[in-house]
Structure 1
């Protein structure tokens, strides 16, 4: 993964795979608070940015897709279309 890769669910799963040393395919759709903390730290490192989300924004991130959209917002990118 490179910083030029726009965050999408596959990118989020790849980052989350490092939490618990698992394959990206083993990452479920729901994200717990520890996984979210890990994801943000990994995202900041990979993309050389600081994620500044308030508590309400963080509380709304419960799924891989929601995380991808929140991280896209941090980079100034449009949200992904939901199916």
Structure 2
């Protein structure tokens, strides 16, 4: 069993973007710009203690739903060097 928290869903990603933009969650649009994306990846990496390698996934993260999907995949991946007890 993994000690990792579940990946952030749409409401959590919207809340994080609202925090970045200093606005209400209802004011967050569906599109994610490059500054929002950089901040979102940074926060998720810090919160989950992982490194997200975006390469091809970067383009898929230009919307909230795309970011949710990519983050779910990144957090579902095995932790390199993790202990498998």
What TM-score comes out, normalization by structure 2 length? Answer: 0.76
> How many residues are aligned here?
74
Instruction: Say which SS state the counterpart of residue 66 (structure 2) adopts.
Output: helix
- Segments of 4+ moved more than 3 angstroms: none
What TM-score comes out, normalization by structure 1 length? Answer: 0.77
What's 2:44 paired with? 43
Long gaps (5+) in structure 2:
78-85
Kindly indicate which of the two structures has a greater share of residues assigned to helix.
2
Cα distance between partner residues in 2 of 1:42 and 1:17 = 13
1:2-27 alpha-carbon deviations (Å, 9 max, x no partner): x6243211111111112121122211
1:15 and 1:43 in contact (8 A); partners too: no
